[in-house]
Amino acid sequence: DVKVTQSSRYLVKRTGEKVFLECVQDMDHENMFWYRQDPGLGLRLIYFSYDVKMKEKGDIPEGYSVSREKKERFSLILESASTNQTSMYLCASSSSTGYQETQYFGPGTRLLVL
């Protein structure tokens, strides 16, 4: 069974704080993704990574950065949290070997920025 875990289920932070969200997958997947999910909107891609130390911007990278020092771990960083970053954050991973790459999602981190 593919397992994607995220460091926190719920987080409450204050405006201006630095926030770290961590994601770990145990299936040796090459690809990892960070999305945010807001009510009524589809998942929006923030950043993704196809290899260790490699990162690419998604559709909404502003205000975020990422780090992938090890294959199994992909971190999302909010350098200075703002209230409009209150959201549900979902991490996903997938393999590059198959044609139809299914993305496997973590349980999500619900972040509230006050």
Binder among 11, 72, 110, 112 for another protein (CB under 8 A): 110
Size of site (CB under 8 A) for another protein:
28
Cβ contact 92:4 at 8 Å: yes
Select the residue interacting with another protein from 21, 25, 48, 76 (CB under 8 A). 48
Backbone angles phi, psi at 68, to 5 degrees: -135, 85
Give the binding range for another protein (CB under 8 A) out of 14-22, 62-70, 77-85, 90-98.
90-98
| Closest distance of CB 57 from another protein, Å | 9
97 in contact with another protein (CB under 8 A)? no
If binding is defined by CB under 8 A, does position 64 make contact with another protein? no
Cβ nearer to another protein, comparing 54 with 114: 54
In angstroms, what is the minimal distance from the CB of 91 to another protein? 8
Specify the stretch interacting with another protein by CB under 8 A; choose among 14-22, 67-75, 77-85, 93-101.
93-101
What's the 3-state SS for the chain?
Answer: CCCEEECCCEEEECCCCCEEEEEEECCCCCEEEEEEECCCCCCEEEEEECCCCCCEECCCCCCCEEEEEECCEEEEEECCCCHHHCEEEEEEEECCCCCCCCCEECCCEEEEEC
